[in-house]
Structure 1
Amino acid sequence: MDSWLRELITRLEADPDLIRTLDAYYLHDMSRPATARALGVHTRTLDYCLRRVHELIGLRPTSTRGVRILTAAVAWTFADRLREA
């Protein structure tokens, strides 16, 4: 499990904005307008980022499975960053 999740995170980190976008998306209860406002982007830009996540790792950020796995990936990423600091 550990290596599998790390592999997903590595793929997501290819585009540094994806982790931040996913974090904001879940923090705003998956509301596209609220997330776009918080990130200062257009909703179409947010949609592009969410599609990019699906293309990179094969999980849809809006599916139940995607939410569960991707929130774990986001939390793990932020925990790693705290450990490194």
Structure 2
Amino acid sequence: MYNKAMYWHNKAMHWHNKAMHWHNKAMYWHNEAMYWHNKAMYWHNEAMYWHNEAMYWHNEAMYWHNEAMYWHNTNVLFAVFGALR
């Protein structure tokens, strides 16, 4: 009985070890992929931060540019219609 039990136990361990070998292989490549994915995400997020920073100041500049154009155009209209009066 001992021999029969050990035979099947060893067979089971053989396949279990095979499965663990492939599982560990898969985990190695998964971790490799995650390493590069995380590196990529870091730089992507860095780029997005500066892009958003640039957009904030661009929008700020456009706001004041549009404000200036409003008053400029208002004054031009007053000047034109004032001259036509």
TM-score by length of 1: 0.27
- Quick check: which has more Rg, 1 or 2? 2
TM-score by length of 2: 0.27
More helix by share: 2
Higher normalized contact order (CA 8 Å, seq sep 6+, divided by chain length) = 1
